[in-house]
Structure formats: structure tokens, C-alpha cells
Structure 1
Amino acid sequence: MKLYVKNMVCNRCKTAVQTELDKAGIEPVNMELGEITLKEAPTSLQLEGLARELKGLGFEMIDNQKSKLIEQIKTQIIKLVHYTDVANPLKLSTILADQLNHDYSYLSNLFSAVEGTTIEKYYIAQKIEKVKELLIYNELSLSEIAYQLGYSSVAHLSSQFKQVTGMTPSKFKTLQSHDRKNLDDI
């Protein structure tokens, strides 16, 4: 049996969810971002208690197929942007269609209808947050960041960064307070 959890977007989130699973006496076999495979089906009482506890932590269990698919799209994008060191040479549409076993146009239309934004804009927002993170760490040059995130050039990265944030990457680096968003707020 699988459970889908909205806003489970980082390793810290997985730890918090694991704690709640342990408290509820539910044993996972595997836990990925947004998705938990269980050893056996929990009771309805266990599920209700888990849902209540997770909601208190800012998570939400998802039970309808379309919502699950939206979360899977987000999870795939987050993995691609935040947990992969080198850009994938495949197009985002190909990756999502292959990973989720659905036609990309269906995924795109569903995502836009439910989220009020396009998959591409969500992907760009995630990439810009990753750029901000890498700029703050100050370990990579802008050229290395552009390569790592699959931008065709530093100019393309800078243009997209400015379009989303209203400032250039170099201006962002000089700020005292860095305006970063939590992954689940994007």
C-alpha cells in the first residue's frame, strides 16, 4: 500500500513523517519525497490519527488520484532540481511523462488547472530557489551553477533570475538578507 503526503519535500520532512509513522505503529518499507510504501495496510483508526498528526506538522495526506499525480509532478521536479548534481539532458516533459506514465499534455493541463500555474513556471521557480541556495553557499561560480542546473548560458540564467526575482544574481549575493522560500511554499 502507498500513502501520498503533501509538502514532504526534504529529508527533514521525511524524518518528521517517519516519527509520526512510528508513533502510529505504521511500518514503512520505503519512503521517498511525497510517497511512502507501507509493509501492510494500516487500520482506518491509524490512518485518521496519522492524518491528524501530520496536518499539525504542516503535511497533508492525499487520497484522490489527481492530487496524488500533482504531488508526484512536484516531487519529480524537486528531485530533479534539488537532489541531482548534474542537469539531465532530457527535456522536462520527457522526464515527467516517463516517470509518471502519463502523456505530458495531460500532466500539464491537470497541473495548470489545479495549481493555477504551469509546470514550466513551477520548474523555473524551483531552479531559481536552487540558484539562490548555491549563490549563498558561494562555492560555485555563476558559470558552474548555470551548467549544473542545465541553463544554456550564464546570460540565460541571469535573465531568468532577474525576471523572477527582480534583481541580478550578483545583486542577490550582495544582500544582507537573502529572500529564500521553503520548498513547500513554491
Structure 2
Amino acid sequence: MNFDLKEIATAGMILFAVIDILGSIPIIISLRNKVGHIQSEKASLVAACLMVAFLFVGESILSLIGIDVNSFAVAGAFIIFFLAIEMILGITLYRDDVPETASIVPIAFPLIAGAGTLTSILALRAEYHVENIIVAIVINIIFVYVVLKSSSKIERILGKNGLNVIRKVFGVILMAIAVKLFAANINQLFEHGI
């Protein structure tokens, strides 16, 4: 076992920024208002299972279609970079349609374990040990569960401005991570020949 607190912290921060559960509070609240109740436990568990499953089988799926992890990590760096731009500038480059029901589908996927999260998990796999990524996923899912359970309280405490500040700070962190991920994996690509 290669448990490393630094790796867990970095992977945890990346996933926290990409999942952006605090930034999703307005969506969660509007869903709660529409359908009355959100199954926080179910949504958190399904999201965790999706993320861990993708961590293990994602690479096999890629090799099946002839893509190596470094190429995927570079693509992931671009996605993370654009997510960061969205968070910093407060613009929407891409957003799914607002879901009609607050079941597993809109909350667990794509809100928590969306394309950005799954891409980040594979990109992290190119650099970190699997057990550290799993710990980071578990920590994030616990946090997601707490936020889902108390989303209206959090919105009242932080207010709109507080949520915006948090999004911008994590946007900058995310952008720096995207640049690092890109730099680390683009070298690998050139070494092995694209």
C-alpha cells in the first residue's frame, strides 16, 4: 500500500474543485423545490460507485478504443482548464439541460460524477497511486453527502457572494492543476511518440 497524505490531499482538492458541489447548490435547491425530496444517500453512493468503477475499468475501456492514459490525461487537462474558465469568469461554456426529476440520474450523474470528474479520475490515475485516489473519492463523497443534506442551510450561511468567491478560488486552483497535468503528460506523449 502506498498511502501518501500529499497525494490524497492533491487528488482530493482536484476532485473537490471539479465536482464543484458548492457551486451546484443553486441547482440542487431548485431540484429540491421541484420534486420535494432528494435522496442524498442514494445519489452519493451511486456517484462513488461510478467514480471507483471508472478508476479501475476506465483504462481498459480506453485501451479497447486505442487511447493511452497520457493522451486521455492531456484531454482531461483541457476539460479541467475550461471548467476553471467557467468558474473564474462566471460564464457557461457547456451545461446539460435542467433535469426534470431529482433521482440518481441528475444528481449522481452528471452533477457529481460527470464527464469532468471521470476524466479527472483517469488523469489522476496517470500520476497518483490508486489507493490515494480512492481515499480522495471517499472524502469527497462524504462532503457531497453533507452538502446534499444541508444545501439550504449552506446557501443561507454563505449567501450568493460567498458561493461566488469559493467558485472563483477553486477555479484558479483548478486552472493551475490543469496546466500541471498538461505539462506532465505532454512530455510523456512526446517521449513515446504520439
> TM bucket by the smaller chain?
under 0.3
TM-score normalised over the length of structure 1? 0.25
Larger Cα-atom Rg: 1
- Which has the larger strand fraction? 1
- Which has the larger helix fraction? 2
TM-score normalised over the length of structure 2? 0.24
By relative contact order (CA 8 Å, sep 6+), the higher-ranking structure is 2
